[in-house]
Amino acid sequence: MTRHRRLIQRLRTLGRYPSDEQAEHVLDTVLGILGSQLAGDERCALAAALPEHARATLVTPIPLGRPATAPAFVEAVARNLNTTLATARWDASCVLTALADLVGDDLTARLLDYLPRGYALLFGRADLAPAAA
């Protein structure tokens, strides 16, 4: 089984998607949006850790000047999947949790340091950053 197929199977299990095609559609959508949020070393490191198809999906979008907030990220997922915010939050969380499992704790921590506060829960991690005063 290829790395990409294992990623799809992991996502299908996490998200309880009825088919590989639906899991792959959600993966491609969330990865494309995530790709627009990342730049520099973090984007390169994540791309290097992904299977070829997922890598191409991640690096296709041009990075934005600065990453969007986690709620704005979820809103973009909802728009692109034409779904509700609750479903988009579920989809994003399933994909980002599967990615965190795939790439490991060190790279996940780097991504969370790069992205604005609020993404940790989407990656299946506790948000332990202190609140701003």
State the SS3 of the chain. CCHHHHHHHHHHHHHCCCCHHHHHHHHHHHHHHHHHHCCHHHHHHHHHHCCHHHHHHHHCCCCCCCCCCHHHHHHHHHHHHCCCHHHHHHHHHHHHHHHHHHHCHHHHHHHHHHCCCCCHHHHCCCCCCCCCC
Per-residue pLDDT of the chain (133 residues; tens, 9 = 90+): 899 999 999 999 999 999 999 999 999 999 999 999 999 999 999 999 999 999 999 999 999 889 999 999 999 999 999 999 999 999 999 999 999 999 999 999 999 999 999 999 999 998 765 555 4
Q: Within 13 Å, how many C-alpha atoms sit on residue 59's CB side?
A: 17
Q: What's the pTM?
A: 0.93
Closest CA to 46 of 123, 128, 116, 133: 123
Domain boundaries, the chain: 3-123
Residue 129's pLDDT is: 59
What are the distances in angstroms from CA 6 to CA 20, 38, 50, 56?
11, 24, 11, 17
Residue with tokens 């979820």: 74
CATH class (in words) of the domain with range 3-123: mainly alpha
